[in-house]
Amino acid sequence: MRVLGIDPGLTRCGIGVVDGAVGAPLTMVAAGAVRTLADEELPARLLGIEKGIEQWLDDYQPDAVAVERVFAQHNVRTVMGTAQASAIAVVCAARRGLPVSLHTPSEVKAAITGSGRADKAQVGTMVARILRLDSPPRPADAADAVALAICYLWRGSAQERIARARQKFARTIELARQRHGL
């Protein structure tokens, strides 16, 4: 399964593509960013983000997309642009019928480092370790996007594992019932 992670931003959207399969180590396929110029008008910037993300989706054909869920607790000016960029990211994926999952920064940090309060450097270090890279993906937004994709794959497989465990448990109970005529 291939997941494309997007860390949205008006100036720079981090992008990371990660392949994962149950029981196999995760592999980073690509990481980078979609950039727009601060002196462009908003319509041109949003259009640039759309074109850039479409290109990544065309090039890497992911099975799912993970986008950072934007919260308003940060810098209010920045957050408006982030919300707008995230809307473009979400709609690009949804238009193709791809499942889109939104993850808060603390969910991602907790999934990758074990702590929802980890800093960017710690997330980068763990991303590199998980993917067996010599150093964290660059730029920093790309590392965050890769972390989002990992978060999606791990949560997905954790959910699958729980579902399988539940089925196994139900089967055991059923067999026990039959055996004891309950």
By CB under 8 A, name the binding residues for its own copies.
Answer: 42-44, 46-47, 50, 70-72, 76-77, 79-80, 83-88, 90-91, 93-95, 100, 102
Which bin fits 76, alpha (ψ -120 to 50), beta or left (φ > 0)? Answer: alpha
7 has binding-site annotation: yes
CB of 64 to its own copies, least distance (A): 11
Task: For its own copies, give the closer residue by CB, 77 or 180.
Answer: 77
CB of 178 to its own copies, least distance (A): 41
Instruction: Judge whether 103 and 151 are in contact, CB under 8 Å.
Output: yes
Name the residues annotated as catalytic.
7, 68, 141
C-alpha distances in Å from residue 109, one per residue of 71, 87, 112: 15, 22, 5
Which bin fits 49, alpha (ψ -120 to 50), beta or left (φ > 0)? Answer: alpha
Task: For its own copies, give the closer residue by CB, 69 or 130.
Answer: 69
Instruction: Judge whether 81 and 75 are in contact, CB under 8 Å.
Output: no
CB of 7 to its own copies, least distance (A): 16
Annotated binding site: 7, 68, 141
User: Would you list which residues are annotated within the binding site for Mg(2+)?
Assistant: 7, 68, 141
